[in-house]
Structure 1
Amino acid sequence: MFVCPLCNQIEQQQYICPHCQQAMADEGRLMDYFDAYSAYLDIEGMKLFDGYPNNRKKHECPHVFSCLKCSKQVVYLINEMEL
Structure 2
Amino acid sequence: MPPVIDEQKCIGCGVCADICPLQVFSHKPKENKTPKVQRPYECWHCNACVLDCKAKAIELRLPLTHMLLYVDSSSLRPKH
TM bucket (normalised to shorter chain) is under 0.3
TM-score w.r.t. length of structure 1: 0.24
Higher strand proportion (structure 1 or 2): 1
TM-score w.r.t. length of structure 2: 0.24
Higher helix proportion (structure 1 or 2): 2
